Amino acid sequence: MRMKIAYGWVVVGAGMLISCMAMGSCLSLGVFLQPMAEDTGWSRTGVSSAGTLVFLAMGASAFGWGWLNDRWGTRPVVLSGVVLLGIGLIAASRATTLAQFELVFGLLVGVAGGSVYAPLMTIASAWFDRQRNLAVSLVSAGMGMSPLVVAPFVRWLISAYDWRTAMLVQGIVAIVLLLPVAMLIRKPPPVIPPQGMPDHPLRTVPAEPPMTAAQAFRTSAFVALALTHFACCAAHSGPIFHMVTYAMVCGIAPMAAVSVYSVAGLSGLGGRLLLGIASDKLGAKPVLVAGLALQAAAAGTYYFVSQLGEFYALAVVFALAYGGVMPLYATLVREYFGIRIMGTVFGAVSAAASFGMAFGPVAGGWVFDTFNGYGWLYIGSFGIGLGAMAIALTFKPVARPQPLSMQPA
């Protein structure tokens, strides 16, 4: 049993690395934004539109990846996504027109990103019972590590060479590094009840048939979760994507601006762990509502900052909030819908989140090009963030039987 539990942490570690590189590649477009615009003459709105396409493609594919995850398992899904991610980055680095770049980066990298979030969170949840929140939070923390790892690496490559070389190297590294890591992912072994114990709890059969995905989609809990995740991501995607560029607009040097993004990543790691621990003690819903309120306030505060120290302080608070709430959605899906259909249901919830993320990049680019500044982006993010909190307050758990888990503790 101890060896089984130990290998669960190997799966969590693999999930952290894969999610860091994959989601970091999706979000790294914010680091590429200004160098690409200056080198090619493409508008910020046009380049940012590729970021919007990434999240639209991620959302459109997330449900399908989740469905495949429930039927094929996580390893083949993630392996497919890793190959697609590398191909997308390499091809995008060779794009000669804005339309080519938008389609190649937006669609290929976006679909690849959809193969990571829901499947990895699902497999981490499947390996654990008593330490489930910690395991899920750690995989989510891998995504939060991308500002600490991927963004500085990309910025260094751009400074040393150019944006095309940086994106080409990023694609090669994704394939070479992540393919062997993805091979470490396994399904958890079934727990066999002790022999001669017909009344053992692990032999207990649920009194009612398990809920199907179609039934789950018709519940108020699913609707509330999906809408909350959508509005939550719509509120923070713009400020995150344009964080580096906004700091540079305020006169901060490029590497210092990237360091603000890195500080946000570090704070997001802490937020995932702190809010995960708090949700174990206080419940996921009140922690989620509090985190969403803090996120809205921090997004609006960006309107007033312009100095490096202010950017650092706000990045800590903002990332603590948006990083901390992200694992809670997976926890709620597992808690109320069970592990059997979690890949499909959480895939649908994360699809809604990706559609929300799609608003930020293009909205920020349009606001800047139209008003020569980002002020209205932060005002809008504040309002949407309050909306996410209001929707979360309506969440009610599903009344369903809770059979004992068949997974290792």
CB 303 within 8 A of CB 375: yes
**How far is the first Cα of the chain from the last one, in angstroms, to the nearest whole number?**
9
Cite the DSSP H helix spans in 201-307: 213-217, 220-241, 243-249, 254-282, 284-301
Q: Which residues have a Cβ under 8 Å from the Cβ of 330 and sit 6 or more positions away?
A: 121, 122, 125, 136, 140, 346
Handedness of CA 73, 74, 75, 77 (dihedral sign): positive
What pLDDT does 266 receive? Answer: 82
Residues 370-385: tens digit of each pLDDT:
888 899 999 999 999 9
Percent of the chain with pLDDT over 90: 29
Longest dimension (CA), the chain: 75
Task: Write down the mean pLDDT value for the chain.
Answer: 82
pLDDT at 131: 67
Calpha distance 179→197 (Å, rounded): 43
In the DSSP assignment, the letter for residue 251 is: T
pLDDT digits (tens, 9 = 90+) for 28-65: 887 888 888 888 888 878 888 887 888 788 878 877 88
pTM here is 0.70
Mind listing the pLDDT tens digit of every residue in the chain (409 residues)?
444 557 888 888 888 899 888 888 887 887 888 888 888 888 878 888 887 888 788 878 877 887 788 788 888 999 999 999 999 999 999 998 999 998 899 899 989 988 887 788 888 877 776 666 677 777 877 777 777 788 888 889 998 889 999 999 999 999 999 999 999 988 877 654 444 434 444 433 343 456 787 888 888 888 889 999 999 999 998 898 888 889 988 999 888 888 888 888 888 878 888 887 788 778 788 999 999 999 999 999 999 998 999 999 999 999 999 988 988 888 888 777 877 787 788 888 888 887 888 788 778 888 888 888 899 999 999 999 999 999 999 877 545 444 444 343 3
CA dist 123 and 192 (Å) reads 20
CA distance 245 to 248: 5
| Cα radius of gyration rounded to whole Å, the chain | 21
Nearest CA to 291 out of 354, 282, 375, 356 is that of: 282
Residue type, 67: W
Q: Where are the domains of the chain?
A: 2-189+211-393
Contact 234, 360 (CB under 8 A): yes
Q: Torsions phi, psi of 267, nearest 5?
A: -65, -35
Q: Round to whole Å and give the CA distance between 172 and 158.
A: 16
CATH architecture of 2-189+211-393: Up-down Bundle (1.20)
Helix axes 29-40, 2-27, angle to 10 degrees: 20
pLDDT at 209: 53
